[in-house]
Amino acid sequence: MKAKTPLFKVLLPVLLLTLNLSCKKDKVEDSPQKIGDVVIPNEVKVIDSQTWNKNFISLDSVSKAITFSKDISSSQSVKTGDIIVSSAGEGLLRKVKSVSTVGNSITVQTESATLTDAIQKGLIEFKQPLNVSRIKSIKYFYGGIKLNKGNIGDLKAGSQNWEINTVLYDNDGNPSTTYDQIKLVGTFNCDWQLIGRIDIGLLEGLKEVKFGFESSENLDLQLIAGLQYNFEKSYKLATVYFTPFVVQVGVVPVVFTPQLDIYAGIEGNANGSVTTGISQNISFNAGMQYLKNQGWSPFTSLNKSLNFQPPTLNVNAGASAYIKPELSVKVYSVVGPYANLKLYERLDANILETPWWKLNAGIKMNAGVKVDILDKFLLECTINDLLKYEVMLSQSTTPPISKPSVTTTNITSYTSSSATVGGNVVTEGGVAITERGVYWGTSSNPETTGTKLQIGSGTGSYTSSLSGLTASTTYYVRAYATNSVGTAYGSQVSFVTTSAIFYGSVSDVDGNSYSTVTIGTQVWMAENLRTTKYKDNTAIPLVTDNTAWFNLSTPGYCWYNNDAATYKGTYGALYNWYTVNTGKLCPTGWHVPTDAEWTTLTTYLGGEGIAGGKLKETGTSHWLGPLNTGATNTTGFTAVPGGSRAFFGAFDGGIRGIGDWWSSTESSTAGAWYRIMSNFLTSVDRSDSPKRSGLSVRCVRD
């Protein structure tokens, strides 16, 4: 059933329907209405606000069917082919497809209509300021931006004054540490005016369309960037909703609703801190115009002045920071003209070049118009770079002498008692690196609370090993580098050592003995299950025939390629899920892991993406060579790939390349979850398989 929504909340606002409520069908309807130079087709029915609000019941937001009370028929005659117009909400302009009466209500099914349907001849012209007195509401999406509240409610106020103090990026999520932040700080002032002209001729149809934007923009913007960033992000800071305005054309009200979205963004990269700023003062008149038989063309004028703050930076950087206001205007709540203006500063710095930094500022504007509401024969228009201007403000030829730039290497190789750590001195800061290394410890900010490990001098990458670590413990590492100016630090990274490996053993009722291993809070078999009996000593059916396997909906097991002599000892048996679901497959005190227990294991090991390497047996004795990607077996789990048997009975050929292990958790009535490891990935992947498939099993202790 389609949703019905009150019109004043959802409808596209439209022309004020000022129809004479008492008019009746007579011969006047055979000719259009003429008021001066305006000609309105007689099919246009303008429903005034009082009549609309009194009789309106609902609007179907999908089909655009409008339901009125039956009382409307006494004052308003609406028939198929009419154009109905209302200025309620953001206005309505629709063509009637059908009219039906049910009980005490009248339903009017509608379709799209255009201005040229409602106006045969007429001129729509306006120049509308969009100052704070016209603001209906503001929605903020991001902290650190606000409209100067002193202007709200001041009917004499003109421009909008915005204050900006926005953190666009914070690497560690801690607002008190600023070295890893990127901020925009400053003020933005804008004074928009919307210009419009639509000329419709009696014989020519749509003769002229002109939509333009006038504004004076003042931007004082400072970019403050911490260490190490390389990304591009855009943030919508706020949306300003303006009250609709109406241009009357004869009896037809044309309703326009402006909206202003304000974006801020940063794009680029840096290896060190940078602070710079610009002031831009511009005014412009720009837009697009349409003339019959000539099509669309742009019009522009631009005045600008630019001031700047020379950058303070240590090393290489390339950054563009910008504010971008986007103005759109709806006509009868259908999107019409739109434009965005991007005011930006761009810094390029490379200490190996001369000049080593350049500071640029620029302006770009794109504009367009969607024409669904204007005339069905008119093509939409988009003009990129309607305004485009860039100038180099300043440059420097003196290379800097500063602290070095250093990054910390992510920790990917570690065990329960050791880890490989390191860093990379990206630039030396103009003078030689006398010392480099890492700080490490079990508390955050190891440069103040931890242990120092020196690892040589000079630029480039470096590594070293830590030993004697404690199992299942979080460690923090931060690289450093020192020259005659001072010491610089890379970002902090952390890792959790694996649990100490405690081996044991368990036997099944067949007499098979399995090594076991403790990983975190779980104890796992370190071998694939190979029992032929349940723990109550009853036999599990051995199924060798492919057709018989396919037809199974009860327990069964097999050996890969039906060859127990070759595969049983190392790779174990393959069981269908019906065997798993008996709850009797594992030895007493053990069970087939649930899907959640598999997730507990991979989460403890740092996530699915890297857990496979820590679980797989090393080397290629049992894994297919020459690859066994990332295998360290730091857990002692010693995963080996036993292949699988498809639900239709065929063996998949994945022996030694892929291992599949059941969970005891259903994914559907026909399938269950399992885990996959392969010779060419470090991951443990989660998927589901038909219950008739034959997969390996590892047991976990109760």
How confident is the prediction for the chain on average, in pLDDT? 84
Could you read off the pLDDT of 289-336 as tens digits, one per residue?
A: 999 888 999 988 888 776 666 666 555 566 677 888 899 999 998 888
Mean pLDDT within 67-76 = 79
Tell me the percentage of the chain whose pLDDT exceeds 70.
86
pLDDT band at 28 (very low <50, low <70, confident <90, very high): very low
For the 405-496 domain, the top CATH level (class) is mainly beta
| For residue 355, cis peptide bond before it (omega within 30 degrees of 0) | yes
Report the interhelical angle of 595-604 vs 608-615 (nearest 10°).
80
Give the model's pLDDT for residue 503. 76
Q: In what order do the strands lie in the sheet with 658-666?
A: 658-666, 671-678, 685-690
SS3 readout for 534-595: CCCCCECCECCCHHHHHCCCCCCEECHHHCHHHHHHHHCCEECHHHHCCCCCCCCCEECCCH
- Tokens found for residue 448: 């103040």
| Stated length of the chain | 702
Query: Is the model's pLDDT at 2 over the cut of 80?
Result: no
pLDDT band at 24 (very low <50, low <70, confident <90, very high): very low
DSSP state of 71: G
Give Cβ neighbours of residue 586 (< 8 Å, ≥ 6 apart): 508, 529, 535, 592, 697, 699
End-to-end CA distance of the chain: 51
Domain boundaries, the chain: 4-113, 126-396, 405-496, 504-701
Give 624-640 as a DSSP string.
Answer: PSS--TT---TTS--B-
Mean pLDDT within 51-64 = 87
SS3 readout for 1-47: CCCEECHHHHCCCCCCCCCCCCCCCCHHHHCCEEECCEEECCCEEEC
pTM for this entry? 0.54
Give the model's pLDDT for residue 203. 86
CA atoms within 13 A on the CB side of 107: 11
Query: Is the model's pLDDT at 701 over the cut of 60?
Result: yes
How many angstroms separate the CA atoms of 645 and 567, rounded?
14
Phi, psi of 578 (to 5 degrees): -65, -30
Give the model's pLDDT for residue 98. 94
Contact between 65 and 106 (Cβ < 8 Å) = no
Give the model's pLDDT for residue 269. 66
Mean pLDDT within 405-429 = 88
DSSP state of 643: B
Give the model's pLDDT for residue 270. 57
Query: Is the model's pLDDT at 30 over the cut of 70?
Result: no
Query: Is the model's pLDDT at 655 over the cut of 70?
Result: yes
Could you read off the pLDDT of 163-205 as tens digits, one per residue?
A: 888 877 777 777 777 766 777 788 888 888 899 999 999 888 8
Query: Is the model's pLDDT at 150 over the cut of 60?
Result: no
